[in-house]
Amino acid sequence: MTEPTGPLAGIRILDLTSVLFGPYAAQILGDWGADVIKIETLDGDMWRYTGLFRNRGMSGQFMAVNRNKRSLALDLKHPDGKAVLQRLIPTADVLLTNVRPAAMARLGFGYDACAALNSRLIYAAATGFGQDGPWAARPAFDEIIQAASGLASSIGSDDEPQFVPSLVGDKICGQALAGAVSAALFSRERSGRGQLVEVPMLETIAGFNSIEMLGGYAFDPPIGPSGYKRMKERKPVRTKDGWMTMLPYSGDNWCAFFEAVGRSELIDELQVRDPVARAENIDRIYAAMAEIAPARTTAEWEELLLRLDVPHTAFAKISEIGEQEHLKAVGLFAAIDHPSEGSIRQARPATRFSEAPPNLHRPTPRLGEHSREVLSEAGYRADEIDALVQAKAVGEG
């Protein structure tokens, strides 16, 4: 453990979230310096057991979104467990939860109850659906949100939707939640008051997807089809010896590209100088590029396109992502010596702050690893902690 150096150093967060959406947000805040106490059931966050692991309960996926946290195992259905959380809330700046609001209220930890214990508390609810709508009480997971938001329709089609093969909804919403909590903390600096913050997945992803994908439906009445034509046409292109993505974007880019490959006649034929005509013809333009690409190797294309200042890149394999030239140079992926899991690899915080740089100040905790530490800080004596553990109100790792 080292001291946190990020801009949120000194902020305490009670993280009552599990799986991905909430834990990712909490990790971002922890990366930025906050003291994050992950409050788990005595069985632990189910994400601990998802994916590959060396030791049960410490999967790679779990460790990827739960560093820079302490773990307190607590049974909130046990009256003594509830009493522990009630004692911790006045010490916290933020409470994060992705337990459905009705269930939190039944436990006695809805927003009003928590605000009564701490009027400066930022109570951040990671929900599936906005609580003012008819789906408020429904459970939500990434696939549900991709389907209901129109994202799957945009990735595939209205006739045959497809999922993004990544938990993109959870991760986007996690970033949105971290930003929302930061904004609420800033607001509190001005007003002195806490507040309820809600980040609903469906609304967040539907709005995210609509930016370019509403297409003609951004107007009332619609002036054309939905979608963004270029997104449907863009594809990796095959080179003489592999794959790459080439993205001449501006009219100047396309002119330079076609001139360099000896196909200058395509500049006027495909009307690449005019942005409106270029958008209309993008299927033909991309088809021409795909036809031209196999004439050179990937390395030859990279040399040419770099000289032309045309956006491009070869494809990185996820199994070799740590060796990608730029990422290796900036040290994004670091080998970390975890005290129980040995050598692991994780991406460091990508965001840079010149005056308060984020750091990896705590390894991902084992379940209940810090229960005694946190309770001691809250004023519990050693014998009282022993009694809580004996009563199964608290677990320890």
- For residues 195 and 244, membership in a common domain is answered with no
- For residues 338 and 302, membership in a common domain is answered with no
Q: For residues 127 and 107, give the distance between their C-alpha atoms in angstroms, rounded to a whole number.
A: 17
Assess whether pLDDT exceeds 90 at residue 162.
yes
Residue-wise pLDDT for 142-155, tens only, equals 999 999 999 999 99
pLDDT band at 234 (very low <50, low <70, confident <90, very high): confident
* Structural domain count of the chain: 2
Average pLDDT over residues 162-186: 97
Whether 216 maps to a domain, the answer reads no
Assess whether pLDDT exceeds 90 at residue 168.
yes
Whether 41 maps to a domain, the answer reads yes
CATH at residue 286? 3.30.1540
Whether 48 maps to a domain, the answer reads yes
Q: Compute the mean pLDDT over every residue in the chain, rounded to the nearest whole number.
A: 96
Q: What is the pLDDT of residue 305?
A: 96
Assess whether pLDDT exceeds 90 at residue 229.
no
Whether 3 maps to a domain, the answer reads no
Residue-wise pLDDT for 46-68, tens only, equals 999 999 999 999 999 999 999 99
pLDDT band at 395 (very low <50, low <70, confident <90, very high): very high
Q: What is the pLDDT of residue 232?
A: 85
- For residues 80 and 181, membership in a common domain is answered with yes
Assess whether pLDDT exceeds 80 at residue 172.
yes
Q: What is the pLDDT of residue 233?
A: 86
Q: What is the pLDDT of residue 248?
A: 94
Assess whether pLDDT exceeds 90 at residue 304.
yes
pLDDT band at 231 (very low <50, low <70, confident <90, very high): confident
Q: What is the pLDDT of residue 175?
A: 98
- For residues 146 and 30, membership in a common domain is answered with yes
Whether 2 maps to a domain, the answer reads no
Q: For residues 397 and 84, give the distance between their C-alpha atoms in angstroms, rounded to a whole number.
A: 17
Whether 229 maps to a domain, the answer reads no
Q: Which two tokens stand for residue 80?
A: 């003594």
Residue 250's domain comprises 237-314
Which of 314, 349, 379 is the endpoint of a domain? 314
- For residues 358 and 258, membership in a common domain is answered with no
Residue-wise pLDDT for 110-137, tens only, equals 999 999 999 999 999 999 999 999 999 9
- For residues 335 and 309, membership in a common domain is answered with no
- For residues 389 and 345, membership in a common domain is answered with yes
Average pLDDT over residues 283-299: 96
Assess whether pLDDT exceeds 80 at residue 355.
yes
Average pLDDT over residues 328-343: 94
Q: What is the pLDDT of residue 274?
A: 95
CATH at residue 385? 3.40.50.10540
- For residues 149 and 275, membership in a common domain is answered with no
Whether 299 maps to a domain, the answer reads yes
- For residues 279 and 359, membership in a common domain is answered with no
Assess whether pLDDT exceeds 80 at residue 1.
no
Q: What is the pLDDT of residue 331?
A: 94
Whether 221 maps to a domain, the answer reads no
Average pLDDT over residues 61-81: 97
**Taking a C-beta distance cutoff of 8 angstroms, is the pair 148, 202 a contact?**
yes
- For residues 255 and 346, membership in a common domain is answered with no
Which of 289, 314, 339 is the endpoint of a domain? 314
- For residues 63 and 192, membership in a common domain is answered with yes
Which of 281, 314, 347 is the endpoint of a domain? 314
- For residues 337 and 285, membership in a common domain is answered with no
